[in-house]
Amino acid sequence: MYDELYEIWKHELERLELGRLPPDFHSRIAGYLRRLKEESRMLDKRTVKARLLKSEMQNVKRMSRELIRTRYGKLVTKVAKGEKIPSDGLTAEEEKIYTGVSPFAEAYQSFAKSILNGHVPKGVEQKHKRAALRFLKDVPAIIGADMKTYGPFKVEDVASLPVENAKILVKQGLAEKVEVN
């Protein structure tokens, strides 16, 4: 198993494209690490074999960590570019993750495209909280935080405006907040 991991690790780090892994690769690595751990527990820690086993386990963990991190980076890059990933090159675990990430990436790309085309995507419109105000002075029409026009207002008028605008009007002494029950 060590030699197989080493070759796969080396291949993945040397190439830009995503390498193909056997479907059960990660579960076999986990089993391999489990066996090394069990075997090392039964040995006297001062023996040469125990030290070699410890070194092997550290190398396997390091290569596995780097392999997973590298493959993750390649997968994310492909998903971000909208490229399809052949599922025959993924492990069973990677396939499960990829099938969850792919729809998200497509939805996010659609969202970005809408924004760049000057449209607010459906279901993403920002909701503005509102506050009721009683006007203490005459106020000309204003553009609210929700980009709607409000007013003009006369003394004693009562209106509901976005909270952002209400705070400014109250702070300037032009209106006072009305508690609504």
- Residues paired with 134 in a beta bridge: 158, 176
Q: Are strands 158-162 and 130-135 parallel, antiparallel or unpaired?
A: antiparallel
Per-residue pLDDT of the chain (181 residues; tens, 9 = 90+): 888 888 888 888 888 887 888 878 888 888 888 888 888 888 887 888 888 888 888 888 898 889 888 888 887 777 777 777 776 777 777 777 766 666 666 676 777 777 777 776 665 555 668 999 999 999 999 988 888 899 999 999 999 999 999 999 999 999 999 987 6
103 and 40, same structural domain? yes
90 and 7, same structural domain? yes
Give me the domain span that covers residue 138: 130-177
Give the CATH number of the domain where residue 173 resides.
3.40.5.50
Give the total number of structural domains in the chain.
Answer: 2
For the entire predicted model, the pTM comes to 0.53
Alpha-helical runs (H) found in 117-180: 163-171
